Structure 1
Amino acid sequence: MNTHISPTQRLALVTGANKGIGYAVAEGLLGRGMTVYLGARDTYRGTSAVSALVARGYDARFVQLDVTDQASVDAAAMTIAQDAGELDILVNNAGVLATPIHAPSATSVDEMRETYEINVFGVVAVTNAMLPLLRRSAAARIVNITSNLGSVSLAASSRGFPQLLAYNSSKASLNAITVTYANELRNAGILVNAVSPGSVATDQNGHGGVLTAEQGALLPIRMATLPSDGPTGTAVTADEDLTHHRLPW
């Protein structure tokens, strides 16, 4: 495949993009005429996903990317740097919900570490590796895929709130990370926001959500393509009717 990318072509990277919401976000950005790197840990699954999109005429590209492996993250950044020299959009989508689910008091430290390695430290690793490329863009955007379960306010106000210690706290951490990066990068014109796609049927929840992956991708795509006067340092969530609103911290 020709690796040349036009200087005028918008370029995006979506992590965990071989299936589910990540794949739908990549597909949506491709449909807007962008070149999109699909980051995936598994080479076979990643290349299969890209092949299906290329067959439809899209400029989709696979990059092996394990967010828990710094060497893999650095290699992905080098690949994009060699192909294009810059990056316009980063969607930190890769995430994990450990199963089986335990009560907070029965959650092991190992389970916490495994969850944080992907949902928290992985986001920091990828963001830091890609920032030199994002800084070269005239209008860079970072979207971190969060969850309503990361809202401390909602958890505190509802006795029936799911008590997923590892997952919920990791997404709360991700929200704080989003604000911290947004404040640092505000003057550079890089908009950084957290997006909860809503109740999407995915492998993580046993396909128990009410929205399709394509519907769940709509809000992340919107935040990835914000105009220069768009918000930064916010968290937004989608309702079942696809309307959206601020997600309380």
Structure 2
Amino acid sequence: MTTTLITGANKGIGYETARRLVGAGHDVWVGARDAERGRAAADRIGARAVQLDVTDDTSVSAALEAIADQAGRLDVLVNNAGIPDNTVGVEGISGATALAVLNTNVAGVVRVTQAALPLLRSSDRGSIVNVSSGLGSFGANTDPARPESQTPLIVYAASKAAVAMLTLKYAQALPGLRVNAACPGLTATDFAAGFPGAQPVEDAVGVIVDLACAGLDGRTGTVLEAEGPLAW
């Protein structure tokens, strides 16, 4: 059985991904900053829960130790946890607000990935899926036909561009693992409050689930959306 950890999985895209992967036969660990909410979410779908705050090194280490002790393995890591910054344009941006977003969305990926590497390296199917966004793609943001080019979410977009580069560089540094980023698109979660045209979460997670279920011959070092590879 494939053992999978999903960060930020007590609601939204993370929760739906967990539900789908449980249905696909994975032994899923729901990582959640709030332990009680994490347990409730895990109980609803037949998963396991672990308290995990991606901004806290001690919490991250304890979570991976718990998985090692209780499951003995980790095959797939889905770095989903993130926070929005729906500040449109420059008003309201500060160094402090930027650091908060980058600490969760970028440094959080690094913290969890680094802590998970010993378990992932010992797996014969180790895979990392980083949940990113088209807003992190230079190609999408410079294409007038795409909505990203008309959406000046400065700090959030920068955080997801960083996730894309982390994906590429981790893939290059870890040839024994598969490392990819998935862009689910604009989805009707807390993140998309106030943005029209958001898709249901059930329609958004397919690209994440596909990468989490890919075999040993699956791709690595790519950023994917539902339609296929996304230009960097």
Tell me if both proteins adopt one fold, taking TM over 0.5 as the criterion. Answer: yes
Match of 2:109 in 1: 123
Match of 1:232 in 2: 220
Match of 1:83 in 2: 70
Q: Which moved more, 1:159-168 or 1:84-93?
A: 159-168
Equivalent residues of 2:140, 2:149 under 8 A apart? no
1:197 pairs with one of 153, 165, 184: 184
Q: Which residues in structure 2 correspond to 1:1-249 (within 5 Å)?
A: 9-53=1-45, 58=46, 60-99=47-86, 101-104=87-90, 106-158=92-144, 160-186=149-175, 188=176, 190-206=177-193, 208-238=196-226, 244-249=227-232
1:150 maps to a residue whose letter is: G
CA-based RMSD of the aligned residues comes to 1.5
What is the CA distance between 1:154 and its match in structure 2?
2.0
Equivalent residues of 1:41, 1:64 under 8 A apart? yes
Q: Secondary structure at the match of 2:189?
A: coil
What is the CA distance between 1:208 and its match in structure 2?
4.1
Q: Secondary structure at the match of 2:129?
A: strand
Q: TM-score, length-normalised on structure 1?
A: 0.87
User: In percent, how many aligned pairs have the same letter?
Assistant: 43
Q: TM-score, length-normalised on structure 2?
A: 0.94
Equivalent residues of 2:132, 2:183 under 8 A apart? yes
Equivalent residues of 2:125, 2:216 under 8 A apart? yes
Match of 1:241 in 2: none
What is the CA distance between 1:106 and its match in structure 2?
4.6
What is the CA distance between 1:104 and its match in structure 2?
3.1
Equivalent residues of 2:88, 2:151 under 8 A apart? no
Equivalent residues of 1:194, 1:236 under 8 A apart? yes
Gaps of 5+ in 1: 1-8, 239-243
For residues 143-177 of structure 1, give each alpha carbon's deviation from its aligned partner in whole angstroms, at most 9, with x where no partner exists: 00000001112223339521111100000000000
